[in-house]
Chain A
Amino acid sequence: MIWSKPNISSPSGADPLLLWTARACALGAAAILALVVAFLVRESWPALSRLGFGRFLTDPSWHPTEGLYDLTPMLLGTLYSAAGALLLAVPLGVASALFSRFYAPASTARCYRRVVELLAGIPSVVYGFWGLTTLAPLIGRLHPPGTSLLAGILILALMILPTVALTSEAALATVPAAHLRAAAALGLSRWGMIRGVALPAAKSGIAAGVMLAAGRAIGETMAVLMVSGNVVQQPHRLFDPIRTLTANIALEMSYAMGDHRSALFVSGLALMAVVLVLVAIAESFGRERAGA
């Protein structure tokens, strides 16, 4: 079954079809984001128009049933837990990818890859449940109450680790074997080859994976809801309970009416803003290194 038309002069008739199909797919994919943003704006409009934007940052606290809508502690909660999770998960994830790609014998690597893929498939509710019944009491013995920023960071790190590990491994797999063999021919040690050849070559793929993981960490709902304590306050120490924006939406959406509901969608918009800022920062870093 050959669908190619041997044609001396390309472009052939099949190509415009390919071009337009591919373009349509890309437009569709981009349209989804536009739709999501439009939806968020529509739902948060009542709160934004009635309360104004400033109140979400300057009100004394978050008590919607009494008309107070301060988002800042939860914004900080989201940022701290995502940052902490990334700090843990990125080195461990990349190390994990290096393990299955360069250090482990083939059968061990296959087995280990399976383990990481399975970690990716465990529902967030199972992670949350395990965190609540096993991890939080452990932390609680160190310092009550146990459900805290630390628990949130640990569980999030565990959840985004597979994303970093699998995308990094895929990125490392795209490094041409010729480069690696050249490194060996030059007498580089394994670590020298990794640090000097493999990692730089896979840099953009790994960065893309880290971006995906960051997005996941910011957007995770169920697990942080169960292990972070959900107290709306500015986090000062690792053992303080915090509430993230996502946990807030999940906790209160089911019972929110009117302005409260709208305010929750405003926090959804705030989350998108955070991700946009993150992406912009990452892109500016990428642009500084010209090329690739």
Chain B
Amino acid sequence: MPEAFARHRNFSFGLNADRLAALSVWLTATAISGLFLWLLADIAWRGIARLSWPFLTEPPTDAGRTGGIGSILVSTGLILLVALASAVPVGVGTAVWLSEFVRPGSAFGRFVRRSLTVLAGVPSIVFGLFGNALFCVYLGMGFSILSGGLTLACMVLPILISTCEAGLRSAPDEYRLAAAALGLSRTAALIHLLLPAATPAFVAGLMLGIGRAVAETAALIFTSGYVDRMPTSVFDSGRALSVHIYDLSMNVAGGDPNAHAAALVLIAGLTIVNTAAAGLTNRWLRRRIITP
């Protein structure tokens, strides 16, 4: 795409708007990448010594200062699974409703959208206390991976809905008209045309949502809990990786090296998930939709 643009030849050699824009954009990108590398290098320098295969598979010992994070990884994975399994269907459903079925200017539509934006601003600790009151106490799930996952689902819902709706709206109306002309039901048009067209935006939202879910600490302390044992069911309490990092760096004396190693594992895991998701959806998309 960028190749399509001719460098606008300007007879004044100095700064023109185009060059200035290009310079600032490249500077921004370099600065951000640089910052990220600085952060990563800092964490790696302090934590890489503790990384090893046993670290990834053994449970923590001595309050997490020695041993590994095996059980923690399993808990985190389960929490993420529960969160996504609950948030994605509800999120896609809401996005579909907002983009396909709502009349523009409808009061209910505006109300829902407004609610979601406000929901995005609720502090994570309030979500934690809310999740505790609703899922752990009122619904009786207690401190469990299920409570944690459902609370996280509430937190990532606004992001998922927002991006998915944007993606659906971007699908040209020709698709919908053509589908109607061919006699496809709206459901079929949705499944075969519109949702695939919305996939890049949806995946972007999903990546953001997964990132947010994995990074969440305060909400999980009060819902999925602190127990670092290997969970045997989703009704067990399980410590998430971010909670473990928090505990090791802020609560336990001498937990810093393992905290940094765990942070490295988290970043590496996230990289794998993101790359896999992007790669899979790219291949899937290319086989389904040929953009004009």
> Do the two chains touch directly in the complex (Cβ atoms below 8 Å apart)?
yes
Digitize B82-96: 1 where CB-to-A-CB distance is under 8 Å, 0 elsewhere.
000000011111101
Judged by a CB distance under 8 angstroms, whether A134 is at the interface is yes
In whole Å, how far is A215's beta carbon from the nearest beta carbon of chain B? 3
Known pairs A215-B121, A219-B122; A190 contacts B267 (CB<8 A): no
Q: Enumerate chain A residues within 8 angstroms of B246, measured Cβ to Cβ.
A: 123, 125, 222
> Among the listed A17, A95, A121, which residue makes an inter-chain contact with B266, where contact means beta carbons less than 8 Å apart?
A121
Judged by a CB distance under 8 angstroms, whether B204 is at the interface is yes
Is the CB–CB distance between B93 and A21 below 8 Å?
yes
Is the CB–CB distance between A23 and B218 below 8 Å?
no
Is the CB–CB distance between B28 and A162 below 8 Å?
no
> Among the listed A28, A101, A170, which residue makes an inter-chain contact with B167, where contact means beta carbons less than 8 Å apart?
A170
In whole Å, how far is B278's beta carbon from the nearest beta carbon of chain A? 8
> Among the listed B22, B25, B124, B267, which residue makes an inter-chain contact with A122, where contact means beta carbons less than 8 Å apart?
B267
Judged by a CB distance under 8 angstroms, whether B270 is at the interface is yes
Known pairs A28-B90, A29-B112; A5 contacts B274 (CB<8 A): no
> Could you tell me which residues of chain A, from 1 to 33, have a CB within 8 Å of some CB in chain B?
2-15, 17-19, 21-26, 28-30, 32-33
Q: Enumerate chain A residues within 8 angstroms of B93, measured Cβ to Cβ.
A: 21-22, 24-26
Digitize B185-225: 1 where CB-to-A-CB distance is under 8 Å, 0 elsewhere.
11111111000000011001101101110111110000000
Stretch at the interface among A62-70, A108-116, A145-153, A231-239: A108-116
Is the CB–CB distance between A173 and B200 below 8 Å?
yes
Q: Enumerate chain B residues within 8 angstroms of A17, measured Cβ to Cβ.
A: 187
Is the CB–CB distance between A115 and B215 below 8 Å?
no
Judged by a CB distance under 8 angstroms, whether A40 is at the interface is yes
State which size class the interface on B falls in.
Answer: 35 or more
Digitize B123-150: 1 where CB-to-A-CB distance is under 8 Å, 0 elsewhere.
1111101100110000000000000000
Is the CB–CB distance between A211 and B212 below 8 Å?
no
Judged by a CB distance under 8 angstroms, whether B61 is at the interface is no
Interface of B is mostly: helix
Q: Enumerate chain B residues within 8 angstroms of A113, measured Cβ to Cβ.
A: 278
A4 CA to B188 CA in the complex, in Å?
5
Is the CB–CB distance between B130 and A35 below 8 Å?
yes
Is the CB–CB distance between A115 and B1 below 8 Å?
no
State which size class the interface on A falls in.
Answer: 35 or more
A188 CA to B33 CA in the complex, in Å?
29
Q: Enumerate chain B residues within 8 angstroms of A22, measured Cβ to Cβ.
A: 93-94, 96-97, 100-101
> Among the listed B24, B162, B172, B189, which residue makes an inter-chain contact with A167, where contact means beta carbons less than 8 Å apart?
B162
Digitize B3-32: 1 where CB-to-A-CB distance is under 8 Å, 0 elsewhere.
011111000000001101110111011011
Q: Enumerate chain B residues within 8 angstroms of A268, measured Cβ to Cβ.
A: 123, 126
> Among the listed A2, A103, A215, which residue makes an inter-chain contact with B118, where contact means beta carbons less than 8 Å apart?
A215
Judged by a CB distance under 8 angstroms, whether B178 is at the interface is no
> Among the listed A28, A92, A275, A278, which residue makes an inter-chain contact with B32, where contact means beta carbons less than 8 Å apart?
A92
Judged by a CB distance under 8 angstroms, whether B242 is at the interface is yes
Residue of A nearest to B247 (CB): A125
> Could you tell me which residues of chain A, from 235 to 281, have a CB within 8 Å of some CB in chain B?
245-246, 249-250, 253, 268, 271-272, 274-276, 278-279
A192 CA to B20 CA in the complex, in Å?
12
Q: Enumerate chain B residues within 8 angstroms of A249, measured Cβ to Cβ.
A: 123, 125-126
Judged by a CB distance under 8 angstroms, whether A158 is at the interface is yes
Residue of B nearest to A283 (CB): B114
Is the CB–CB distance between B187 and A118 below 8 Å?
no
Interface of A is mostly: helix
Is the CB–CB distance between B201 and A174 below 8 Å?
yes
Is the CB–CB distance between A10 and B180 below 8 Å?
yes
> Could you tell me which residues of chain B, from 147 to 168, have a CB within 8 Å of some CB in chain A?
154, 157-159, 161-163, 166-167
Judged by a CB distance under 8 angstroms, whether B232 is at the interface is no
Known pairs A95-B25, A104-B29; A158 contacts B187 (CB<8 A): no
Digitize A65-107: 1 where CB-to-B-CB distance is under 8 Å, 0 elsewhere.
0000000000000000000000000001001101111111100
Residue of A nearest to B97 (CB): A22
Is the CB–CB distance between A129 and B204 below 8 Å?
no
In whole Å, how far is B263's beta carbon from the nearest beta carbon of chain A? 5
In whole Å, how far is B65's beta carbon from the nearest beta carbon of chain A? 16
Known pairs A26-B112, A123-B246, A212-B120; A246 contacts B125 (CB<8 A): yes
In whole Å, how far is B156's beta carbon from the nearest beta carbon of chain A? 11
A194 CA to B17 CA in the complex, in Å?
11
Judged by a CB distance under 8 angstroms, whether B245 is at the interface is yes
Using a CB–CB cutoff of 8 Å, the interface residues on chain B facing chain A are: 1-2, 4-8, 17-18, 20-22, 24-26, 28-29, 31-33, 35-36, 39, 42-43, 89-94, 96-98, 100-101, 110-112, 114-127, 129-130, 133-134, 154, 157-159, 161-163, 166-167, 169-170, 172, 180, 183-192, 200-201, 204-205, 207-208, 210-212, 214-218, 241-242, 245-246, 249-250, 259, 263, 266-267, 270-271, 274-275, 278, 291-292
A6-B183, A174-B170 given; 7 more Cβ-contact pairs under 8 Å: A25-B89, A119-B32, A125-B249, A187-B6, A189-B8, A190-B18, A250-B218
The 3 closest A-B pairs by CB, nearest first: A25-B93, A4-B188, A215-B121
